[in-house]
């Protein structure tokens, strides 16, 4: 691996209850298997996000692999993490591009320009953090602010699957079958199947859809001809960015969410590994920012560190960065498989709608979890009003216009939460 070297530990280390540190690795065969597991862990969400935005899933998976390798290089191989498609972009991309929820996004270019702008802002924040530390971020974005903004991302998207992804009564019932399937997998399974609740629920619901639609004729039949006709290997459908001021101003603030996400993830990995990764925080932000710029330049989604992969590390106690190099390389190979893309495109719209209901709801609850984990005190009127106003601004899609520029619900909620905290946060309790 050139400059990057891992101390090899025997496979028996795991059976003895040992831990594999970031600068260690198992023998390559076991490292490869762990790479596959991490690829599977991020797979459902990283593939789902581009579909919900009308992006090419092949490009998204390819860019997630390239982004992971970039992150590895920028952090000097010190921070174990996988970069996958960020759900924080979904609402603003849909708003900026006017995507209807079906088929390819015909205005993907303006969304890509905004994603690149977000990556640049994210990189600059990382450069500042590298120079002066993270204290200023934590002052501007306390848990009450980050929790409210994360919750708003899910709540703002609630109408997309319900209004746009179930055109018939059969589709509405299939959405219900889908989210019930995901819930059953989440509650009644264990181990890796439970960790893959979105993917497993999607597979179960797709099978039920095929039985009801193809077998009983109750809905639009599932069409698998595209999978059979697709080549195993080929070039993905790259797209070029278009730099439009409105879209850039709408999407760039997502950098704030990515910072909050990455900050929390790295602190979680620090706690798990017992190694202080704070000195690499700025480099992690910069690596993620560069990866997002490169992804946007080719037609991919913005990327972020993934909680799913952190969950796998917590379960396995394997924190080796070598595992993520393997996972990144595997993702790149998948990106060049049109058959993989055709498989994703064959998923029924109603099933994707049901999965979307779950995912958007989980995003909203993740915001509330930030409040719970940090014991946010809602008897304090500062916290109460910042959270309350932010939630309604985002959920109601409160939009402010400045000339030809319109700042939609997620944007007004994000800036509103930060500005309200700055205005109210220094007031003393009565």
pLDDT for res 126: 94
CB 198 within 8 A of CB 42: no
pLDDT for res 117: 94
Q: Is residue 110 part of a domain?
A: yes
Residue 318 DSSP label: B
Tokens of 313: 């590390």
Q: Residue 273 belongs to what domain range?
A: 20-172+231-368
3-state secondary structure of 243: coil
Regions of the chain short of the pLDDT cut 70 = 1-4, 11-18, 37, 40-41, 43-45, 101, 191-196, 264, 307-308, 311-312, 315, 402-408, 426-430
CB 26 within 8 A of CB 318: yes
Measured in whole angstroms, the distance separating CA 179 from the mean position of its chain's CA atoms is: 19
- Using alpha carbons, select from 302, 419, 367 the residue that is nearest to residue 156: 367
Q: Is residue 277 part of a domain?
A: yes
State how beta strands 400-402 and 83-85 pair: unpaired
Q: Is residue 220 part of a domain?
A: no
State how beta strands 7-8 and 83-85 pair: unpaired
Q: How far apart are CA 163 and CA 57, in angstroms?
A: 23
pLDDT for res 2: 43
CB 26 within 8 A of CB 320: yes
Q: How many domains does the chain have?
A: 1
Crossing angle (nearest 10°) for helices 307-316 and 28-53: 150
Q: Is residue 210 part of a domain?
A: no
Degrees (nearest 5) of the Cα angle 89, 74, 35? 75
3-state secondary structure of 303: strand
Q: Is residue 121 part of a domain?
A: yes
3-state secondary structure of 99: coil
pLDDT for res 115: 94
3-state secondary structure of 427: coil
Degrees (nearest 5) of the Cα angle 215, 216, 218? 120
Q: How far apart are CA 8 and CA 31, in angstroms?
A: 10
Residue 20 DSSP label: B
Q: For the purposes of burial, counting CB atoms within 10 Å of the CB of 295, is it exposed (0-12), middle (13-18) or buried (19 or more)?
A: buried
3-state secondary structure of 206: helix
CB 162 within 8 A of CB 357: yes
Q: Is residue 191 part of a domain?
A: no
CB 64 within 8 A of CB 172: no
Q: Is residue 385 part of a domain?
A: no
Q: Is residue 403 part of a domain?
A: no
Task: Give the burial string for 182-209 (b: 16+ CB within 10 Å, else e).
Answer: beebbeeeeeeeebbbbbbbbbbbbeeb
């Amino acid at each position: 691996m050139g400059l990057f070297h891992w101390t090899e530990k025997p496979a028996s280390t795991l059976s003895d209850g040992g831990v594999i540190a970031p600068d260690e690795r198992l023998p390559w065969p076991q490292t490869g298997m762990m790479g596959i597991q991490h690829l599977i862990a991020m797979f459902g969400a990283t593939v789902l996000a581009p579909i919900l935005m009308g992006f090419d899933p092949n490009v998204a998976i390819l860019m997630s692999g390239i982004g992971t390798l970039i992150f590895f290089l920028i952090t000097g191989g010190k921070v174990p993490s996988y970069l996958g498609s960020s759900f924080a972009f979904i609402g603003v991309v849909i708003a900026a591009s006017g995507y209807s929820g079906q088929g390819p996004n015909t205005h993907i270019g303006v969304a890509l320009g905004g994603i690149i702008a977000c990556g640049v802002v994210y990189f600059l924040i990382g450069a500042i953090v590298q120079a002066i530390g993270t204290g200023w971020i934590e002052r501007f974005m306390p848990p009450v602010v980050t929790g409210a903004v994360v919750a708003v991302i899910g709540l703002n998207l609630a109408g997309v699957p319900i209004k746009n992804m179930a055109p018939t009564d059969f589709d509405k019932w299939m959405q219900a079958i889908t989210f019930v399937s995901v819930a059953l997998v989440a509650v009644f399974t264990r181990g890796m199947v439970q960790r893959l609740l979105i993917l497993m629920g999607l597979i179960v619901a797709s099978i039920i859809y095929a039985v009801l639609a193809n077998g009983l004729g109750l809905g639009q039949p599932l069409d698998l001809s595209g999978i059979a006709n697709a080549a195993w290997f080929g070039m993905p459908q790259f797209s070029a960015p278009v730099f439009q001021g409105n879209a850039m101003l709408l999407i760039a603030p997502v950098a704030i969410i990515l910072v909050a996400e990455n900050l929390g993830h790295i602190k979680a990995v620090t706690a798990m590994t017992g190694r202080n990764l704070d000195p690499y925080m700025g480099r992690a932000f910069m690596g993620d920012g560069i990866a997002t710029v490169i992804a946007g330049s080719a037609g991919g989604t913005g990327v972020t560190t993934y909680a799913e992969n952190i969950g796998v590390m917590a379960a396995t106690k394997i924190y080796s960065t070598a595992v993520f190099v393997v996972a990144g390389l595997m993702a790149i190979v998948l990106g060049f498989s049109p058959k993989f893309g055709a498989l994703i495109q064959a998923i029924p719209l109603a099933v994707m709608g049901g999965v979307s209901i779950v995912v958007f709801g989980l995003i909203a609850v993740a915001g509330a979890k930030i409040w719970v984990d940090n014991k946010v005190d809602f008897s304090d009127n500062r916290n109460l009003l910042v959270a309350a106003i932010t939630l309604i601004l985002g959920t109601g899609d409160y939009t402010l216009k400045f000339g030809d520029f319109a700042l939609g619900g997620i944007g007004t909620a994000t800036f509103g939460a930060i500005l309200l905290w700055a205005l109210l946060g220094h007031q003393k309790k009565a």
